[in-house]
Amino acid sequence: DTGVSQDPRHKITKRGQNVTFRCDPISEHNRLYWYRQTLGQGPEFLTYFQNEAQLEKSRLLSDRFSAERPKGSFSTLEIQRTEQGDSAMYLCASSLPSGTSGRVGVYNEQFFGPGTRLTVL
């Protein structure tokens, strides 16, 4: 399977604990995105990387959240001192950079992983 993979698929933790999620993008994709999705909502952008550089972070990404992509391949998202409000599906996506298709303005599709569902008790 050469799609985006995420691990773990499910995580149950107690409030105050730290959790770390991993995302493995499609191998030739140098852009990687993290989103959070709660029930009845669309995905909300958290952050994205181009290669190992973290180019943008949403205001949703509080100080308790940190994301890394040290070698420009897989990425980790860590949540420290989890709160019940952190319970959500955390989605990772990867894409080629804009313009790669050769057509100006063409959207380079973000391919999503299956997500990690976090439940904070």
* List of residues contacting another protein (CB under 8 A): 4, 9, 40-45, 48, 55-56, 58, 60, 91-93, 98, 105-107, 109-110, 112-115, 117
CB of 37 to another protein, least distance (A): 9
Residues 6+ apart with CB under 8 A from 30: 50, 51, 72, 96, 97
Q: Output 73 or 112, the one with its CB closest to another protein.
A: 112
Q: Output 4 or 19, the one with its CB closest to another protein.
A: 4
Per-state percent for the chain, helix, strand, coil, to nearest 5: 0, 45, 50
CB of 61 to another protein, least distance (A): 12
Distance (Å, rounded) from C-alpha 47 to C-alpha 58?
A: 6
Q: Output 60 or 121, the one with its CB closest to another protein.
A: 60
| H helix or E strand, kind and range, residue 89 | strand 88-95
| 3-class secondary structure, 38 | coil
Q: Output 49 or 120, the one with its CB closest to another protein.
A: 49
